[in-house]
Structure 1
């Protein structure tokens, strides 16, 4: 058991990163509105996530570099290199600063389901107490600058989050036959393709590719750790997928209606399953929010580090300045109730363009013998990679069109 825990870490961070408040909300709404019919989309997203994250992890272990650093070094044409760096910078750094407000707000929603709202009035401003506390917790954990501490915190939070949502799913006593049908028989039903894409998009996210390649290079040195990294990734992402499915199953089986977010759902469960069900959802939502509140700034800092060629990571003053800026912006937007709609829309468009671009670039570099040697992609990995790239291109196009349509 001690040996197993020693090799847990990067995959858990990735799993914690994609199960944020956005995932909880999307999965809740999918279950409330469409029952078990879209479980297959989550299964597809987990497979896609495993394929891309394995490539990112292999790249990080073999090259001992993060993905953004490889982008800077491997694109030889100056114009293309600058364009790639600017796109990555904009989508990940600016985008994560915008989404950080949602992460913190999600954790606040979890607390609000079981605790009173507290607001500090400071002259012309009002600051949400819980937003400040959550930001402070994230700040302290990141400021410690110790990777082992990060691992332990995330293992604990992911464990709490997983138990919360999985236990709640069991409480609802779902129809097993309907659940298995939704999991293995693709059906769009009345959901529309955008709902399917939203479920996939909450799991396959660009910044996780940058985060994963960077943190594995810090934890594992040399190709001898590839087997361990793959095993850890498989179990961590699979657990994340089970948690996402548990949220859909709970929402589908509960019969709760008129839900606009996960906090409404927590309140709706109380008459059916008692106060403890509300506590499980609230704790799960809080854990999801706080883990994403830590990983989003961390990923942004790793991207800047790679793009600008910085050598030091967690302990560097410049590195800390990046993640603290993202965290502070998120806290301000969350605590003051501001909605950075324009920035978030920009981030969605940029990420919609970035995901297939990064997937193609990742596919290219992990096939380069000069970079990966004998650890380049196999034929099976290439076949899976091509299929995933086609999905990401479709996902990116839909993401851009949906945002442009809302402008």
Structure 2
């Protein structure tokens, strides 16, 4: 009798889990976006240099991302407006309006283009390891594939692709963490007993900077409109964000934990160094296994960077028809082509990358503050404005973003002049 009662309960629980997983979509694009080659490298360096000590910074980054993405998702679903358009409409004074619009467009386009070559290099490295093909031939081919995906104008195609890539990355990096047999006590200490080891400030800033990505906020406010059309779906969106971004954080955390377990004290030169440490555990499969993860991370990050630049520009300038608009596709193509030509010419000017880092350091806290202002606009959101609790959390996030952003600007300027 008891067994008969348990079976319907277990079936009900299983159905609830399946229903929650069905809402995953826009959030997966965000996760696939921030888990790129930069995140893998930063998490690997954090683990190798400081063990599990900086896990708290990664957890904070994920929570910050969830808070901000929930706000912009609510904006998109309730107001049916992208973040770019909301920023444009928030200010009536032309000088303020167009100055902010120009800075947002310039910063995000420059940042997306500046890091595209690195994403393409990571993607090509992974594929080259898997196939043995020449990396110089793979790069342009991968760029062409991403370009064709963007030119299809299909949001659903990109969403499904990103979900698959997140699943692949989850399988690769979480499996390697489990195989590495990390110290569970050390992991809990790293998460719940925050510390700032000597020399770790720049790594903490990098962990936040590679997780809380400004253009993802523009992507999310637009992509939710493709999936949901009224406030009755806000709960679905919240589950999507928590599941997807939580999984992205788990992937990043798995990399840091694996590195902290196997590479403590090892100087990291490239992401491929992690494969060397995995060889005793995975044998000849170590390089192949990691290459699949690196390829997935690079491919997803490339696609999201071009998508982020296109959505930001089109949203701020209020171009209609989304991905079907020829101007949207032109921006997407331009960002990809800049990455391809930079890759072919082996052109990665440090000055431009540092400039993009400095712009991002200014942009992130500025965007966080603008989101907080917009989300309290009753004319726009009515009863769906931020609650007091969300505002308090938002203010804390903005303050921390200003601190991290200021440090990013300082470190970029210091590196540039040195």
TM-score, normalised with respect to structure 2: 0.92
1:316 counterpart = 2:325: yes
Distance in 2 (alpha carbons) for counterparts of 1:270 and 1:303: 42
Helix, strand or coil: the match of 2:323? coil
Structure 1 gap ranges (5+): 120-127
Deviations 1:11-64 (A, max 9, x none): 000111111110000000001111111111111111111111111111111111
Counterpart position of 2:31: 15
**1:149, distance to aligned residue in structure 2 (A):** 1.3
Q: Distance in 2 between matches of 1:134 and 1:254?
A: 31
**Which is worse superposed, 67-76 or 372-381?**
67-76
* 1:255 to partner: Cα distance: 3.2
Q: Per-residue displacement from partner, 1:178-216 (whole Å, max 9, x unpaired)? A: 111111110111343121111111111111111111111
1:280 to partner: Cα distance: 2.1
Cross-structure match for 1:133 = 141
Structure 1, residues 229-270: CA drift from partner, whole Å, max 9, x if none?
011101101001100000001111113623212122223432
- In the alignment, structure 2 segments of 5+ residues that lack a partner are 1-14
Distance 1:136 1:406 in 2: 34
Q: 340-349 or 367-376, which moves further after superposition?
A: 340-349
C-alpha displacement at 1:277, in angstroms?
Answer: 2.5
Equivalent pair of 1:14/1:208 in contact (CA under 8 Å): yes
User: Residue 111 and residue 36 in structure 1: after superposition, are their counterparts in 2 closer, same or farther (change >3 A)?
Assistant: same
For the 8 Å contact 1:113–1:282, the answer to whether it is kept is: yes
**Mapped pair 1:352 → 2:361:** yes
The alignment yields a C-alpha RMSD, in angstroms, of: 1.5
Scaled by the length of structure 1, what TM-score is found? 0.95
Matched, 1:379 2:385: no
Answering whether residue 182 of structure 2 is matched by residue 177 of structure 1, we say no
For the 8 Å contact 2:180–2:258, the answer to whether it is kept is: yes
In the alignment, the residues of structure 2 paired with residue 240 and residue 339 of structure 1 have an alpha-carbon distance, to the nearest angstrom, of 27
**Equivalent position of 1:122 in the other structure:** none
Q: Which residue of 1 aligns with 2:5?
A: none
Aligned-partner Cα distance in 2 for 1:53–1:255: 33
**Residue of structure 2 in register with 1:406 after alignment:** 415
- Give yes or no for contact 1:113–1:267 (8 Å, CA) kept in 2: no
- The 3 A distance-change label for structure 1 pair 4 and 149 is farther
Q: Tell me the number of residue pairs that the alignment of Structure 1 and Structure 2 aligns.
A: 399
1:218 CA displacement: 2.2
State how far apart, in whole Å, the 2-side matches of 1:263 and 1:108 are: 13
Q: Secondary structure at the match of 1:262?
A: coil
- 2-side partners of 1:216 and 1:374: how far apart? 19
Structure 2 matches for 1:59-98, cutoff 5 A?
59-98=75-114
Deviation track 1:93-142 (CA, whole Å, cap 9, x = no partner) reads: 121011111111111222344443516xxxxxxxx111112212212222
Matches within 5 A, 1:3-402: 4=20, 6-116=22-132, 118=134, 128-255=136-263, 257-402=266-411
